[in-house]
Amino acid sequence: MDGIVGFIIVLISFFTLPFRFIRQSWSELSEIGRKKSVTLEGAEELPLLNWLLVLGRALISIGAILIYIFLIIVAAASDDDSGGAIVLAIIFGPLLSFGFIWFYGVFLELLSLQIVLVRNSRKILDVVQEKGST
């Protein structure tokens, strides 16, 4: 029974993670707006990669929303009088947007992982140098 519950949770998270991605992007942009600086908290090194990460998250979020809006506009402008195009846009629009977020989000997560690895490597180096000097 736990396997079925776990599968349902994984299936539901496929649809909820893109919303979390967009919320996190908005949160990062809000932090940048408050600080009046592109550098996020704890991300002082590698400023270019951090900037690309923030920009990428914003562009992916905006792109996913624009994909959905574009599909609805195209469906509304279609010659299909039965409304089937609109129904398909309403069904496939979110799926395409979610796929867009998942696909490009993976690349941003890999970039984020590289930034975290560099940051943690520097912390380890600092600790080792402190231990060596004592």
pLDDT at 41: 57
Which pLDDT band, with edges at 50, 70 and 90, does 22 fall under? confident
pTM above 0.85, yes or no: no
- Token pair belonging to 71: 């599909």
Q: Is the pLDDT of residue 132 over 80?
A: no
Share of the chain above pLDDT 70, in %: 92
Tens of pLDDT, residue by residue over 62-113, are 988 898 888 888 887 877 777 777 778 888 888 888 888 889 989 988 988 8
Q: Are 15 and 97 in contact (CB under 8 A)?
A: no
pLDDT at 40: 59
| Close Cβ partners of 13 (under 8 Å, ≥ 6 residues apart) | none
Share of the chain above pLDDT 90, in %: 1
Q: Are 115 and 38 in contact (CB under 8 A)?
A: no
Q: Is the pLDDT of residue 133 over 80?
A: no
Query: Distance between CA atoms of 56 and 107, rounded to whole angstroms?
Result: 9
